[in-house]
Structure 1
Amino acid sequence: MSTPRRAEHRQSKKLSLISLLTGLVTLVVLLTSSILLVGSYESQKKSLTETTLHLNYSNADRISKTMDSLFRSMRGSLEYSADKLSDVDAMTSNQVDDYLDLMRNSSNFFNSITVVEANGLIRNVAPARVGMAGRRITSKASLEALALQKPYISSPYMTSNTKRLIVFMSQPIFSSSDKYLGILSGTLYLQENNILSDIFGNSNVDDSGSYYYIVDSNGRLLYHPDKQLLGEDVSSNKVVQKLMKGESGEQQVRNTSGVEMLAGYSSVPTNGWGIVVVSPISLIHHQLMGHIRTILWYSLFPFIILLIGVMLVAYRLARPFVHLANLVSKMGKEKIVMPEAKPHWSQEADLLTKAVLLAVLNIQKQTDQLTQVAVTDVLTGLMNRRSLENTMSQWMASGLPFSLIMLDVDKFKFVNDTYGHLIGDEVLKHVAEVIVTSLRPDDVCYRYGGEEFVILLNRPEEAFNVAERVRRALEQSRAPIPTRVTVSLGIAHYPLHASEREELIEKADQALYLAKSRGRNRTIVSEG
């Protein structure tokens, strides 16, 4: 081989400046981006997982407190009525029937109510169509309650004749001379319409895939979005096992179908049942992949420009890296404050480092935007529940007295069922707009979840007037549906009614529940 050819061969093995600079820049950007992406992924994964777990536990705890309060009310109703029936022997059968019908229709607590004599004979039953009057009790639960002579609540069980899944509650009846006369019992048909199914029977899957279910003290499903699973034994689930021990908390768990879930769970002291709110972990993965795709998309353009700049620099040896830095600095990022970088022994390398830092700032900007989205409700544009909790914590930490107004759109399920969920969303946006226009600039409104909204005011003395102004404004507004849109409101004051965040929310929620029970479209202040 001739000398010129050998020299040409050696020259072809050497890297060109374009290839060298392009490879180095690509390597630096890929390594830096990989580190940032991994760090961002892990950070966001931990944050989203913890937030979802805390939110699910908070929801489970709120539902369990609602159920506990409901069962206490049922127990109070039976206790009051048993006292009224202390002279049942002196009452005619029609009088007792009328009283039982009144009791059943006024509260909607029970599907059927029965008066059983001490010898086990069913004296009266409402409704009369049950047809058990004059027979003797035979179920294990009723016999146990009759023998116990104390307040009693059974575990859910299947009746032998009607094959209904029921819960049996009873209260002993004593005469004025403390003679044991029998029991007053109420029966709940878990798979039929009653107050339990009205409140807890609609554990539908939301848009994110989250839902809740209810188990009894033996680990059997009582309420679940999949109706075919009702009555199934899920005691092998680790969360259900903890609920059976009366524990509450949050954890990642694999359900009986093998799906990884983020679960928050809370037990109900009154009846030993448990509430579980779950979100599929795939939801977290979906959000994280969206986050990564966003970062990669916004990083792609600067990366392409960077490579083009490197190739141009290779052709203009007089300004190899200065041109690259100028190109990167003209990417419309003048408002970003560049982090201070340690000086490098090479001016060219120093300029390249600054250019890469600009790409880092771009990624940080996208992360900040995602954080802002995380505290904003997409539908209404209001701040969301996470922002509410942060604000309440800050106000409580500063010792600032304030009021919390919780409002709920009346009969919103009827709106969704009648006009569809799209119109339901329009109603929610309408409600949010009316609330905001009815408030002062320093009052803050949040979407708490579903059709519930929360208003924070740092002027407790004006809370009732503000709530009434919002209520009247909505009542008189022109809604997206032909019927009137009204709301019920509950008010709680800090620190008058509660010193803790969850307790304050619970007080306002109880006042709201009272407003609902008194006919809706009204404002109730917590009684402390």
Structure 2
Amino acid sequence: MSKLHNDLPTGKKQISLATLLTGLVSVSVLLTLTILLIASYQSNKQSLFTTTLALNYSTAEKMSQTMDSLFKSMRSSLQYTAAYLSENCHMSETEVQKQLDLLRHNSSYFNSIMVVDQDGMFRSIAPASIAAAGQPIASPVTREALDSQKSYISKPFTSPTGRLIVLMSEPLYDENGDYRGFVGGTLYLGDNNVLNMIFGKNDIDESGSYFYVVDTTGQLLFHPIPGRLGEDVGANSVVQKVLRGQSGHELVVNTLGVPLLAGYSPVTEVGWGVIVNSPISVVYEQLHRLIRSIVLYTLAPFVLLLAAAIWLARKLAGPFVSLADLVNRLGRGVRTPIPDLTGHWNREADLLARAVASTFQDLQKQTDQLTHAAMTDALTGLTNRRTLEAILQQWTSEQCPFCLVLLDIDRFKTINDSYGHQTGDEVLKHVARMVGQSVRNVDICCRFGGEEFVVLLPHSSLTDAGICAERIRTTIEQSKAPIDRPVTVSLGISCFPSHAPLPRHAPAAQGLLRC
């Protein structure tokens, strides 16, 4: 027996059977989960890209068809009016004016409608406040429409009043077929008309998608950012394609360097183009949320499978561990009666399970205590400054609107000097309780430092913040304080983003608290 013990290999690292089985199963499950996640990521990425591109293209195509139909209806309306005036070329100026007013009010297509004779004089115009009959035309665009002697639509141009205008016209002929001028309608792209009612409310939706419209030269006519109207984006490859009459969808980098998933379609009637964009970052955010959901849903089965593998490994290795202990004792020459090995089947698994459970509970309890201590002000029990800054960073990066109420205890130094710092601490705790009683459950109360407190009001207006601040002030002032006189506070309000628009990538919390 002693010889057998001495012949055992020494100096080599040995792996127990339970560890080996557990490791093999764990690696297998981890590899399977990793492959699943990678395959799911790639598959869903392609699916999201394809779906977003197809949706943007479909939206752009429908919008361009709608705009095309509108312009056809506008032209048809002008053609009808031109035909009517040509057939009744001897109508009085008053009758012509009535006809123009009727067309303008009934269709709501145009902001103004005019009749210009062959000599370049306004014969009639609606509304009459724009120009008087008999005045000569002054706009080069109007002159171009007159000289064309055919159906005409102008490029968007800026009027002396600063409006972005499009002019459509149809020629007028008398009973002998002689050219007598034109009837024209103007669209003020920034004012109320049927085109602006449909396409003017152009906001970036919750998914980050938006559209814009360009004219034949690549000039922006509709865009979610009003300040960009009139900007030349003709260098954009998608804009160049849509102005050549092409339609489709593709991944593109815009003139500002932002990668986008774009769908585009031309408006054939006027040569304009509609482009619908979705930032690629939004698609990746959706993809990451999906992957996190997959991980969340597969985590429980994975843990259960791993636990079962560990249990089975221990179950199988139990008798061998007992036998190894026995052989080891015997090998050292210790006389030991051979025990009943059946009693050892669950010994290691039970001990390990109890030890792990106990350790995990202790660790979780310690972690919770440390987390709570790191996030909470020890004196008042409110959220501390570090957590406040983390919340501000998150909200401002997500562009979540909120209001901030900052309050400071009046003459707090006098309280400390007169009553002592221990009483001052009681005043701080009292104020913290009153603030907590004065706000909603969704509001966040923080001790910013010293006698300063901050209340965060998510999704609140300036009016709501003012009401909340006044409620806090009166509650503290009217409450029974730990000292023999009322405690009062001074408050200030700031709202994001209206009061503190932050530049991109700016340190959000510090920038807001400076405002």
Indicate whether the TM-score tops 0.5. yes
In the other structure, the counterpart of 2:205 is: 206
> Quick check: 1:189 aligned with 2:188?
yes
In the other structure, the counterpart of 2:375 is: none
Cα offsets for 1:241-290 (capped at 9, x unmatched) = 10111111111111222222111110011000111111122222122212
Cα offsets for 1:41-99 (capped at 9, x unmatched) = 11111112111111111111111111111101111111111111126652222221111
> Quick check: 1:174 aligned with 2:173?
yes
In the other structure, the counterpart of 2:228 is: 229
> Quick check: 1:40 aligned with 2:52?
no
C-alpha contact 1:213 1:221 (8 A) present in aligned 2:
yes
Q: CA deviation at 1:158?
A: 1.0
C-alpha contact 1:252 1:260 (8 A) present in aligned 2:
yes
Structure 2: distance between partners of 1:132 and 1:270: 32
Structure 2: distance between partners of 1:168 and 1:128: 17
Q: Mark the structure with the bigger radius of gyration.
A: 2
In the other structure, the counterpart of 2:114 is: 114
Letter in 2 for 1:193: N
**Runs of 5+ consecutive residues of structure 2 not aligned to the other structure:** 320-515
Letter in 2 for 1:211: Y
Letter in 2 for 1:139: S
Structure 2: distance between partners of 1:280 and 1:165: 28
User: Per chain length, whose mean CA-contact separation is higher, i.e. which structure has more relative contact order (CA < 8 Å, sep 6+)?
Assistant: 2
C-alpha contact 1:88 1:96 (8 A) present in aligned 2:
no
In the other structure, the counterpart of 1:162 is: 161
> Quick check: 1:84 aligned with 2:89?
no
Distance 1:24 1:117, change over 3 A: same
Cα offsets for 1:298-357 (capped at 9, x unmatched) = 22222222332233233322799xxxxxxxxxxxxxxxxxxxxxxxxxxxxxxxxxxxxx
Letter in 2 for 1:109: Y
Letter in 2 for 1:176: E
Letter in 2 for 1:70: L
C-alpha contact 2:219 2:230 (8 A) present in aligned 1:
yes
Cα offsets for 1:18-47 (capped at 9, x unmatched) = 332222222211222222211111111111
In the other structure, the counterpart of 2:11 is: 10
Q: CA deviation at 1:6?
A: 11
C-alpha contact 1:116 1:184 (8 A) present in aligned 2:
yes
C-alpha contact 1:173 1:180 (8 A) present in aligned 2:
yes
Distance 1:162 1:18, change over 3 A: same
Distance 1:9 1:196, change over 3 A: same
C-alpha contact 1:18 1:310 (8 A) present in aligned 2:
no
Distance 1:56 1:106, change over 3 A: same
C-alpha contact 2:17 2:317 (8 A) present in aligned 1:
no
In the other structure, the counterpart of 2:296 is: 297
Letter in 2 for 1:56: N
C-alpha contact 1:313 1:319 (8 A) present in aligned 2:
no
Q: CA deviation at 1:231?
A: 0.8
Distance 1:290 1:319, change over 3 A: farther
In the other structure, the counterpart of 2:66 is: 66
Structure 1: distance between partners of 2:19 and 2:267: 68
C-alpha contact 1:61 1:265 (8 A) present in aligned 2:
yes
In the other structure, the counterpart of 2:478 is: none
Cα offsets for 1:97-123 (capped at 9, x unmatched) = 111111111101110111111011111
In the other structure, the counterpart of 2:401 is: none
Structure 2: distance between partners of 1:20 and 1:318: 10
Partner-residue secondary structure (3-state), 1:236: coil
Structure 2: distance between partners of 1:273 and 1:236: 15
Partner-residue secondary structure (3-state), 1:262: strand
Structure 2: distance between partners of 1:219 and 1:248: 15
Letter in 2 for 1:66: T
Structure 1: distance between partners of 2:119 and 2:59: 45
Structure 2: distance between partners of 1:40 and 1:23: 25
Structure 2: distance between partners of 1:130 and 1:289: 56
C-alpha contact 1:111 1:189 (8 A) present in aligned 2:
yes
Structure 2: distance between partners of 1:264 and 1:230: 20
Cα offsets for 1:478-508 (capped at 9, x unmatched) = xxxxxxxxxxxxxxxxxxxxxxxxxxxxxxx
Letter in 2 for 1:120: G
Partner-residue secondary structure (3-state), 1:129: coil
Aligned residues: 316
Distance 1:34 1:318, change over 3 A: closer
Partner-residue secondary structure (3-state), 1:283: helix
C-alpha contact 2:22 2:313 (8 A) present in aligned 1:
no
Q: CA deviation at 1:5?
A: 11
Letter in 2 for 1:278: N
Partner-residue secondary structure (3-state), 1:55: helix
Letter in 1 for 2:259: E
CA RMSD of aligned residues (A): 2.2
Partner-residue secondary structure (3-state), 1:130: coil
Letter in 2 for 1:244: L
C-alpha contact 2:18 2:317 (8 A) present in aligned 1:
no
TM normalised by structure 2 equals: 0.58
Structure 2: distance between partners of 1:90 and 1:188: 28
TM normalised by structure 1 equals: 0.57
Distance 1:8 1:298, change over 3 A: farther
Deviates more, 1:170-179 or 1:283-292: 283-292
Structure 1: distance between partners of 2:8 and 2:227: 81
Paired residues for 1:114-153 under 5 Å: 114-153=114-153
Paired residues for 1:348-497 under 5 Å: none
Q: CA deviation at 1:237?
A: 1.3
Distance 1:309 1:8, change over 3 A: farther
